[in-house]
Structure formats: structure tokens, C-alpha cells
Copies of this chain bind each other. A is one copy, B any other.
Amino acid sequence: MIINKNAIKVIAFDADDTLWINEPYFQKAEHDFCALLENYLPQHAVSKELFETEMNNLSLYGYGVKGFILCMIETASRISAGQLSLKTINKIIAIGQDLLRMPIELLEGVEDTLVRLSAHYKLIVATKGDLLDQERKLKNSGLQKYFHHVEIMSNKKNEDYIKLLNKIECPAENFIMIGNSINSDVLPVLELGGQAIHVPYHVTWTHEQASDEVKPINFLQVESLDQLLPILL
């Protein structure tokens, strides 16, 4: 897959696990949650129940920490069959609130890459999640100054990218998306006629894991953000 850099006017970056570390904090939270409930079910079974609750509520809650906390409470309530203490409920809320206060640790090479790309392209952020939470993380990242536009999206399907492209008045062929999720960052953009580069992160939420049918031969993968520089400059 060859990137046509001459066509690119806007480079969009996913945020969580593309610019900064996120999923390990969710996995730690989930681990703590499962450990809280191991008197009722083995931890891997709690994890499976939680994922089911999340998928059942996804169309109602959308993405983000607050929905995650609500799903943990609902799951705990269900699997304990009414035996759960309110102390546990309070611990679950505390696990969730800690996620809303997670420190921002930039991934390697991110800031230098943004500095150098911003001299040549319009950079934007395109991310899912809770509105306030994503704004807070971006502010705490210190990266806001490199971005012309920040779009916090309720989803990242084709129609959501169409809306985004209309909003920023950018034709798909002048747009490239950079992110760690094949399903959310790469495939929909390619389908619309844009370009995309996959920067895998070592852990991915089950929901974002692409099926085996997707062959990386269809798109470019790099190992870290600084590898974008020789491709895009």
C-alpha cells in the first residue's frame, strides 16, 4: 500500500492509544473490578459478563468512562444475584472515577511527530468517548496547540466520517486517518476513498479487534508515530 502524500491536506489522529496510553488503564480497572467479584464468579467469567453488558448497552450509552462505570455496576448487580454489598458498589464507582482522573502519558515520539507534521499539514483529532473526559485528556496532554480542530465523535462508522469531512470541508481524498483501531480508524476511511495508516498498540479492547479476515496488506502499518515522518514528509 503506497501513501499518496501529495493528496493529503488534513491528517486526523485518533487519541486513546494513538497519542497517549489509555487501554492499560481500562484493563487495570477491569482487572480490579473482576477481582472484587471473584467470590461470585471466576475473574475471566466476570470479564465476559462485563463485556456482554457493555455490548448490550452500547447503543444506549455510547463510548466512554461513564457508560463503563454503569456497566460495571449493572454486571456486579446481576452476577451477585442481589448479594452484593454497597461497599462494593462504592468501590466500583471509585474504580471508575480513577479512570476519569487517569494521568496522561504520551506515547513515544508523539510530540516531535506532531511538531514536524504541523508545519506541513492541518492536523486534527478524531476520537470517541465521553465529551468532557476526552477534552480533559487532550488539555492535560499539552498537545492541543498542534490541532486545528478536535472532533469528539459518538461513533466512527462511515456515516460519522462523512459528517466529519463535511464539517471540516475536506474531501475524503485529501484526508488521512492515523490510529490504533483497524475497525474504527482504518477501514471506514478507506471505504470512503480516504487514506489511513494503522499504528497498532500492544493491547486493544475486544470490541475494537478486527476480524481475522482483514489482511494488513490492504493498508499501511507502522510501529510508532515517528515512523510517519519519512512517509508523510
Give the interface of A toward B (CB within 8 A). Answer: 60-64, 66-67, 69-70, 73-74, 77, 80, 82-87, 89-90, 93, 96-97, 100-101, 130-133, 135, 149, 152-155, 167
C-alpha gap A90/B130 in the complex (Å)? 23
Q: Within 8 Å CB of A70, what residues of B? A: 66, 69-70, 93, 96
Q: How many copies does the complex hold?
A: 2
C-alpha gap A133/B69 in the complex (Å)? 17
Residue of B nearest to A61 (CB): B66
Q: Which of B89, B100, B133, B154 sits near A89, CB closer than 8 Å?
A: B89
Q: Known A70-B66, A93-B74, A130-B131; judge A84-B86 contact (CB<8 A).
A: yes
Q: Which of B61, B83, B100, B133 sits near A132, CB closer than 8 Å?
A: B61
Q: Within 8 Å CB of A66, what residues of B? A: 61, 64, 66-67, 70, 130
Q: Which of B61, B97, B131 sits near A152, CB closer than 8 Å?
A: B131
Q: Please name the 8 residue pairs, one residue from A and one from B, whose CB atoms are nearest each other, closest first.
A: A62-B132, A66-B66, A132-B154, A82-B86, A131-B131, A77-B86, A131-B154, A60-B100
Q: How far is the CB of A210 from chain B (nearest CB, A)?
A: 23
Residue of B nearest to A149 (CB): B167
C-alpha gap A154/B97 in the complex (Å)? 18
Q: Is the CB of A62 within 8 A of B93?
A: no
Q: Within 8 Å CB of A131, what residues of B? A: 62, 64, 130-131, 152-154
Q: Is the CB of B130 within 8 A of A62?
A: yes
C-alpha gap A87/B152 in the complex (Å)? 35
C-alpha gap A153/B149 in the complex (Å)? 14
Q: Within 8 Å CB of A84, what residues of B? A: 86
C-alpha gap A73/B100 in the complex (Å)? 17
